[in-house]
A and B are shown apart, each in its own frame.
Chain A
Amino acid sequence: MSVLLESSSTSAAMRRNFWRGVWRVMKRKPSRLVGAALMIGFVFMGVFGPMFYPNPLPGDPDQITRPPSWEHWLGTDDQGRDVIALVVTGSRYVLLAALVTAVITVVVGTGIGLFSGFKRGRWDTVLMRLTDMKLTIPGLPLLLVLSTVWKFSSAVQMGLVLGLLSWGGVARAVRSQTLSLRERGFIEAARGLGLSTSHIVGKELLPSMAPYIAMNMLIAITGGVYSQVGLFFLGVLPYESNNWGQMLNTAVFRSGALTVPSALGFLLGPLLAILLLTLAIVLVVDAMDEIFNPRLREE
């Protein structure tokens, strides 16, 4: 009993130290706090944002494609709707699809990378050839061609397709991590003890790769945002619901934002949202890098 208590109190202490370390890393560069705050803001926007606005958004025929003003900070769209309201209500589709993309990318990529790196041999060769092939076929042109067959109608479907097309990089990276980890002492010891493969992979390999996988997940979220917004921007997908890519498409090709200054706010709204999201993720990944790689810390 006392042994149990002792071990739980040391793990609690370790956890406290970890969070103190996190706080120290975050505090050293204020930019990282900004990144974390932005990130929380985006989550909030995606989950609760649409609740603050009526659905559908009211348009005003007298306010079509207006430049920024006090009433509409980023102007209005071609139906007289407020651009900021459009960005907020459009965020849910974009962020949900990106989240699904990232989860699938990371789960499939990690699974294949772990299996391939741990098993080695024939399966490894086959899987890696497949991965290389996937990495070589250019993603965007393939998506464009696929858009003639698939309709990506909901955010979840969109995320599913994007995720299934983008696990290649993660698989390669996880495989090389696995290859280097499996030669380390603690894995060899576990093998020597005769522990099962599922135990070694689940309890020994995965935890030591968790931070790395988490970072890949964040990066995959930006990838998911970029490709779906890009697809909607190019105009190859049918208009399903309001989202950032569709706003870009309408702003540029219907309202002529690259020639008419009054449509600029309409264009800048979604662009600003994408830039801020990228900034948030870059800053948070930078902080995570230092939290999980203590060697990077300059004391």
Chain B
Amino acid sequence: MIAIARRLAGHLARGVVMILVVATISFFIVRSIPGDPVAAHTQKLIEQGMSPEAAEQATRVLYGFQPKGSLWAQYGDYISGLFTFDLGQSVTHAGAPVTDVLAEAAKWTVLPVLAGTLLSFLVGIIMGVYAAIKRSGKLGDVLAISGSLLHGVPQYVLGLLLGAIFATLIPILPSDGPVDILFEPGFNAGYIGSLAEHAVLPVATYALSAYGGWILAMKSSVVTVLGDDFILAAELRGMKRSIIFRYIARNAILPLFTILALSLGLLLGGAVFIERIFNYPGLGKLLLDSITMRDYALMGGAFLLITVAIIVANILADLFYSVIDPRVRSGEEVSA
């Protein structure tokens, strides 16, 4: 228990350092963008007929920081703001706090990613067991090649193919946003049905792109377990195939749970493509829009949040690993 607590403390410290590094990167990138965005906004307001003082005041309100003052003072303000979840204000969302805009977008990313990951996990591990058992036969070959292909093909190719097939060629599924605007938002059948219908293609894309990885990981995990003595013993004792199957699956699945946490983090980072293709208002689309609209506070915030999610997923994966694997729990650093 103490060992786990010590690991956790180490991870948390490293995570905080990582977050600071990423925050610093995004701060300095925003400041090194050619054509200072703050000055540009002030200039635009002046051109629209505002007096220079009023324009500067309005810009200051909008961007949430003093445009004057040394770079280091601005940096200090930015970092101390992080600790109070103050990421400044979004220019494109009528000056709403970046944190609020992010929270609103997060649910459109997290739910589809979760659904897609769990779906692909379930199907992938079952297929992985078959791929391992039948690995020298035709079925195993087909499963393994399909796994490598799906694992290899980028998410946006899968998304575009699914969209081309099910939204354009055989138009049975929508590909334009999260819900039909006809329906009143709320807990009614029409709205929820529309939500579900619009979620099919994005969730299927998440699931398909993760599925290949699960097949391959489960296959190699099962192959290792198949060589273990207890399987041989079970076969010699003449146990039923289905029971042996369960033995194998249960032992092979443990290492995969850690990858589950990691892949959740990865999918969050890759959500940009799927959200752009299917016009889903999640974090990835927010990041993209903030770049095209030159909303730099929002851009920094979205980038930071995606990274934090991945760092947290990494920490969880590692903790989970130390809970299920007693060799790690004993306190020795195995993974170093």
Residues of chain A at the chain B interface (Cβ within 8 Å): 31, 133, 136-142, 144-149, 222, 226, 229-230, 233-236, 248, 252, 257-261, 264, 267-268, 271, 274-275, 278-279, 281-282, 286, 298
Residue from B34, B168, B273, B302 with most neighbouring chain A CB atoms (10 Å)? B168
Closest B residue to A150 using CB positions: B29
Against A, the Cβ 8 Å flags (1 = close, 0 = not) of B30-43 are 10111000000000
Closest A residue to B300 using CB positions: A145
Interface contacts beyond A141-B269, A141-B303, A147-B291: sample of 11 additional A-B pairs, CB < 8 Å, sorted by A: A141-B284, A248-B156, A259-B167, A259-B176, A267-B160, A267-B164, A271-B160, A275-B153, A278-B149, A282-B149, A298-B136
B169 within 8 A of A: yes
B272, A226: Cβ atoms closer than 8 Å = no
Pick from A145, A222, A282: contact of B291, CB below 8 A. A145
Chain B, 288-336, CB within 8 A of any chain A CB: 288, 291-292, 299-300, 302-303, 306-307, 310-311, 314
CA distance A127 to B153 in the complex (A): 30
B277 within 8 A of A: yes
Shortest CB-to-CB span from A97 to chain B, Å, is 15
A-B contact pairs, 26 of them (CB 8 A): A136-B310, A137-B25, A138-B306, A138-B310, A140-B272, A141-B303, A141-B306, A141-B307, A142-B25, A144-B287, A145-B291, A147-B291, A148-B33, A226-B154, A230-B154, A230-B156, A233-B156, A233-B273, A234-B273, A258-B160, A258-B175, A267-B164, A271-B161, A275-B157, A278-B149, A282-B149
B26, A145: Cβ atoms closer than 8 Å = yes
B276 within 8 A of A: yes
Residues of chain A lying within 8 A (CB to CB) of residue B176: 258-259
CA distance A258 to B161 in the complex (A): 10
B303, A279: Cβ atoms closer than 8 Å = no
CA distance A138 to B157 in the complex (A): 19
Shortest CB-to-CB span from A96 to chain B, Å, is 19
Q: A138-B306, A226-B154 are in contact. Are A236 and B270 (CB under 8 A)?
A: no
Shortest CB-to-CB span from B235 to chain A, Å, is 21
B163 within 8 A of A: yes
Shortest CB-to-CB span from B55 to chain A, Å, is 23
Interface of B is mostly: helix
Against A, the Cβ 8 Å flags (1 = close, 0 = not) of B70-108 are 000000000000000000000000000000000000000
B33, A137: Cβ atoms closer than 8 Å = no
Shortest CB-to-CB span from B7 to chain A, Å, is 15
CA distance A142 to B164 in the complex (A): 29
Residues of chain B lying within 8 A (CB to CB) of residue A147: 291
Residue from B33, B136, B156 with most neighbouring chain A CB atoms (10 Å)? B156
CA distance A226 to B270 in the complex (A): 12
Residue from A140, A226, A248, A268 with most neighbouring chain B CB atoms (10 Å)? A140
B152 within 8 A of A: yes
Closest A residue to B34 using CB positions: A149
Closest B residue to A29 using CB positions: B141
Residues of chain B lying within 8 A (CB to CB) of residue A138: 266, 268-269, 306-307, 310
Shortest CB-to-CB span from A285 to chain B, Å, is 8
Residues of chain B lying within 8 A (CB to CB) of residue A274: 153-154, 157
Residue from A133, A137, A139, A261 with most neighbouring chain B CB atoms (10 Å)? A137
B16 within 8 A of A: no
Against A, the Cβ 8 Å flags (1 = close, 0 = not) of B231-261 are 0000000000000000000000000000000
Q: A145-B299, A226-B154, A271-B161 are in contact. Are A261 and B29 (CB under 8 A)?
A: no
Residues of chain A lying within 8 A (CB to CB) of residue B302: 141
CA distance A248 to B163 in the complex (A): 13
Chain B, 1-59, CB within 8 A of any chain A CB: 18, 21-22, 25-26, 29-30, 32-34
B153, A261: Cβ atoms closer than 8 Å = no
Residues of chain B lying within 8 A (CB to CB) of residue A275: 153, 157
CA distance A174 to B154 in the complex (A): 24
CA distance A139 to B169 in the complex (A): 33
B272, A144: Cβ atoms closer than 8 Å = yes
B148 within 8 A of A: yes
B276, A234: Cβ atoms closer than 8 Å = yes
Pick from B18, B29, B292, B311: contact of A145, CB below 8 A. B29
CA distance A234 to B136 in the complex (A): 41
CA distance A271 to B277 in the complex (A): 14
CA distance A146 to B30 in the complex (A): 9
Residue from B153, B167, B169 with most neighbouring chain A CB atoms (10 Å)? B153
Chain B, 105-159, CB within 8 A of any chain A CB: 136, 145, 148-149, 152-154, 156-157
Shortest CB-to-CB span from B1 to chain A, Å, is 26
CA distance A63 to B33 in the complex (A): 41
Shortest CB-to-CB span from A273 to chain B, Å, is 10
CA distance A148 to B287 in the complex (A): 12
Shortest CB-to-CB span from B105 to chain A, Å, is 14
A261, B168: Cβ atoms closer than 8 Å = yes
B307, A137: Cβ atoms closer than 8 Å = yes
CA distance A144 to B291 in the complex (A): 8
